[in-house]
Amino acid sequence: MNALREKARELLATKTVQVVIGYAPGSGGAARALFVREAAQAGELVFDETCLQNLAAYLMKPEVRRLGRAALVARPATLRTILQLAAENQLAESSLLALVPGADGVLSLSTFSAIEAHVAAQDNDLSAAEKSELEKFAAMGLDERREFWQEQFSRCLKCYACRAACPLCYCTRCTVECNQPQWIPVPAHDLGNLEWNVMRAMHLAGRCTNCGDCSRACPVGIPLYLLNQKLCSDVLSSFNQRSGMAARADHSLSTFKPDDPEDFIR
């Protein structure tokens, strides 16, 4: 933690960056995002297991971008997100550096290739628990799955907290906001909620870096991560691709291989 504060202080003092986006203690024992713009404020930074938010979401916010070059305290998913955003032409390499707190100090990654190398060395698979939850789902009957999701989606308020929290939902016009034609019903009724959630999952397929912020953001507790992890795992098993591994990625859903595997097309 001290190393992180020291590094932040140094980066700000030397004007290497104009802001350090990190974590500070928040309400209810949780951590929250902190924007440190003065070296003196760096002492407020913390990093522990409560620091869960994917701060890369702020890189897409105009008010934050305006602050200047940012150093971002990054968890593994944050790094993948940075690469994915870069692959989607949303980030300039010069606009940020990533700070990765570790057991022995803070790693400062200032280029995409450094981030790529770091990410490549991590285990980017779904965890065993995540996999087994998906397997449990796959083992359920069709009706059981339908009932589960119907109940979940019936609670959806369409508050779009999932979208707002998601760093990859940076579109300035979301499909749900397209009304000529009206693709997704705006009302938070059963159909509107189903289509909204299917659409969001599909639009994140091959892009989601599995940070889990959508589920954490959901005020009514819909386990949205399940949808994203399902698609992450399908993309990996079908196309052998993972999102967020490279700043110049092969997008898995807008590329193809002539022998992509399927057994359902007649």
* 27 belongs to the binding site for other proteins (CB under 8 A): yes
Stretch that binds other proteins, among 6-14, 30-38, 95-103, 121-129 (CB under 8 A): 30-38
Q: Least distance to other proteins from the beta carbon of 147, Å?
A: 7
> What is the layout of strands, in order, in the sheet containing 31-36?
31-36, 19-25, 70-73, 96-102, 105-109
Of residues 141 through 180, those in contact with other proteins by CB under 8 A are: 142-150, 154-155, 157-161, 163-165, 170-175, 177-178, 180
Considering only 216, 225, 243, 247, the residue that binds other proteins (CB under 8 A) is: 216
* 213 belongs to the binding site for other proteins (CB under 8 A): yes
Q: Least distance to other proteins from the beta carbon of 238, Å?
A: 5
Q: Least distance to other proteins from the beta carbon of 112, Å?
A: 16
Handedness of CA 58, 33, 108, 79 (dihedral sign): negative
Tokens representing 253?
Answer: 């859903």
State the DSSP string of 99-126: EEEETTEEEEE-SHHHHHHHHHTS--SP
Angle (CA) 128 261 208, round 5° = 45
CB atoms within 10 A of CB 140: 12
- State which residue, 39 or 188, has the beta carbon closest to other proteins: 188
Long-range contacts from 171-178, C-beta under 8 angstroms, 24+ separation: 175/199, 175/203
CA distance 182 to 197: 16
Cβ–Cβ < 8 Å for 46, 25? yes
| 40: exposed, middle or buried (Cβ count in 10 Å: 0-12, 13-18, 19+) | exposed
- State which residue, 107 or 241, has the beta carbon closest to other proteins: 241
- Judging by DSSP bridges, how do beta strands 19-25 and 70-73 pair with one another? parallel
Stretch that binds other proteins, among 22-30, 95-103, 104-112, 121-129 (CB under 8 A): 22-30
Q: Least distance to other proteins from the beta carbon of 103, Å?
A: 27
* 16 belongs to the binding site for other proteins (CB under 8 A): no
Of residues 218 through 247, those in contact with other proteins by CB under 8 A are: 219-221, 226-227, 230-231, 234-235, 238-239
- State which residue, 15 or 145, has the beta carbon closest to other proteins: 145
* 194 belongs to the binding site for other proteins (CB under 8 A): yes
* 38 belongs to the binding site for other proteins (CB under 8 A): no
- State which residue, 114 or 199, has the beta carbon closest to other proteins: 199
